[in-house]
């Protein structure tokens, strides 16, 4: 007997953080935790042991810490899995299972949900089947996989409960998306009527490029900054320095210039022939604020996505709601 699907989940396993947007029983939830996973080990402090249990999963018979526990207890300096084959690793599966564990802690059963996941645009066709297979090992929920750059578009064209937006029209409007993630920046173009333009889709480097540049810049000043600190400093423009907040605004501007140049160059190659005729360009993803001003200066109809950090998971959640509604209509018609 088929299980009736009644919930919607957008599951964005990014290289910096995992973002999950859920909707079940009329209630919306957001989940976020660091994209760090590592083999588990014994923690001597009893209080920390109890907390660690909440962020421990078993992969192939071996326990793994994930999220904040993995980041703190392992001594890792930040994000892991910065390669195109990341989805084939036990660490990726640990993040998937960890996210499902956090969903279940909210009294939501992911096995009764439509779950939409994403992949970088340039990897989607190659890795879609593998990701669906891995996800099927973790949940019996219905799993869909889309190019992650498509999600912010759905976030704009659909409202909170998956209905067509009253402010925008998929049938009459054409939009591009520049989704600035940690490992990649993904770019795509949708013409009016929801037509994906294949030759206007691609990827460039992500925020990791700027984080690496900031680490090198600070090292030249004899200040050692780990990857996690560098990622945070790109947003706050400060680092802790012997009890003080050291202003690194100049270093951040220099570091971000590299990703801005890369994103603009790739965007120009992919969507410049179309951009004048578009209704707008959505700048989305965790790194969106790093490039928004420069893109806005070049393309004045650029807009910053609502809740840009969750724009991928939220767009996927809204698409999952559409899928639920279509399934319900199909069942009714039978």
Model confidence over 188-203: pLDDT tens digits? 999 999 999 999 999 9
Computed from CA positions of residues 303, 308, 313, 314, in that sequence, does the dihedral angle turn out positive or negative? Answer: negative
For the record, the structure tokens of 144 come out as 């869909």
Model confidence over 239-254: pLDDT tens digits? 999 999 999 999 999 9
Q: In the structure, how many helices (H) and strands (E) does the chain have?
A: 10, 16
CA angle 29, 31, 33 (to 5 degrees): 175
pTM of the prediction?
0.91
What does the pLDDT profile of the chain (334 residues) look like in tens digits? 344 678 999 999 998 899 999 999 889 999 999 999 999 998 888 888 888 999 999 999 999 999 999 988 877 655 555 677 889 999 999 999 999 999 999 999 999 999 999 999 888 999 999 999 999 999 999 999 999 999 999 999 999 999 999 999 999 999 999 999 988 899 999 999 999 999 999 999 889 899 999 999 999 999 998 877 888 899 899 999 999 999 999 999 999 998 889 999 999 899 998 999 999 999 999 999 999 999 999 999 999 999 999 999 999 999 999 999 887 666 544 4
**Domain boundaries defined on the chain:** 202-304
- C-alpha 84/C-alpha 72 separation (Å) is 25
* DSSP-derived 3-state class of residue 187: strand
- If phi over 0 gives left and psi between -120 and 50 gives alpha, with beta otherwise, what is residue 317? alpha
- C-alpha 180/C-alpha 259 separation (Å) is 10
Cβ–Cβ < 8 Å for 177, 187: yes
As a CATH number, domain 202-304 is 3.30.420.40
- C-alpha 66/C-alpha 110 separation (Å) is 19
| Strand locations in the chain (E) | 7-13, 17-24, 27-34, 37-39, 56-59, 62-66, 113-119, 142-147, 175-180, 184-191, 195-196, 202-205, 238-241, 244-247, 280-284, 302-304
* DSSP-derived 3-state class of residue 108: coil
- C-alpha 301/C-alpha 278 separation (Å) is 8
For 325-328, the CB contacts below 8 A with 24+ separation are 325/162, 327/5, 327/114
Question: What residues pair up with 265 in beta bridges, in sequence order?
Answer: none
C-alpha 182: how far from its chain's center?
8
* DSSP-derived 3-state class of residue 34: strand
For the record, the structure tokens of 15 come out as 């290289």
60 half-sphere exposure, CB direction, 13 A CA radius: 7
Residue 233 burial (CB < 10 Å; 0-12/13-18/19+)?
A: buried
């Amino acid at each position: 007997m088929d299980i009736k699907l009644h919930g919607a989940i957008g599951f964005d396993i990014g290289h910096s953080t995992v973002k999950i947007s859920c909707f079940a029983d009329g209630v919306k939830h957001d989940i976020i935790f660091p994209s760090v996973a590592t083999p588990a080990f014994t923690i001597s402090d009893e209080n920390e042991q109890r907390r660690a249990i909440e962020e421990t999963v078993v992969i192939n018979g071996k326990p793994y810490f994930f999220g904040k526990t993995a980041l703190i207890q392992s001594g890792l300096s930040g994000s892991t899995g910065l390669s195109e084959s990341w989805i084939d690793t036990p660490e990726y599966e640990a993040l998937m299972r960890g996210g499902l564990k956090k969903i279940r802690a909210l009294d939501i059963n992911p096995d009764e949900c439509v779950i939409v996941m994403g992949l970088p645009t340039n990897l989607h066709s190659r890795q879609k089947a593998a990701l669906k297979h891995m996800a099927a090992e973790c949940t019996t929920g219905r799993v869909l996989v889309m190019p992650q750059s498509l999600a912010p578009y759905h976030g704009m064209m659909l409202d909170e409960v998956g209905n067509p937006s009253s402010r925008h029209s998929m049938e009459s409007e054409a939009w591009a998306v520049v989704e600035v993630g940690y490992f990649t920046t993904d770019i795509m173009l949708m013409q009016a009527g929801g037509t994906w333009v294949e030759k206007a889709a691609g990827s460039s480097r992500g925020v990791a490029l700027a984080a690496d540049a900031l680490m090198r810049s600070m090292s030249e000043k004899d200040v050692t900054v780990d990857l996690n600190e560098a990622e945070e400093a790109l947003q706050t423009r400060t680092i802790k320095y012997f009890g003080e907040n050291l202003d690194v605004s100049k270093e951040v501007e220099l570091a971000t210039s590299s990703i801005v140049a890369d994103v603009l160059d790739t965007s120009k190659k992919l969507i410049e022939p179309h951009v004048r005729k578009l209704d707008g360009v959505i700048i989305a993803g965790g790194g969106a604020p790093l490039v928004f001003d420069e893109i806005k200066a070049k393309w004045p109809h650029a807009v910053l996505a609502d809740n840009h950090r969750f724009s991928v998971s939220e767009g996927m959640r809204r698409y999952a709601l559409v899928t639920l509604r279509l399934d319900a209509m199909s069942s009714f018609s039978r």
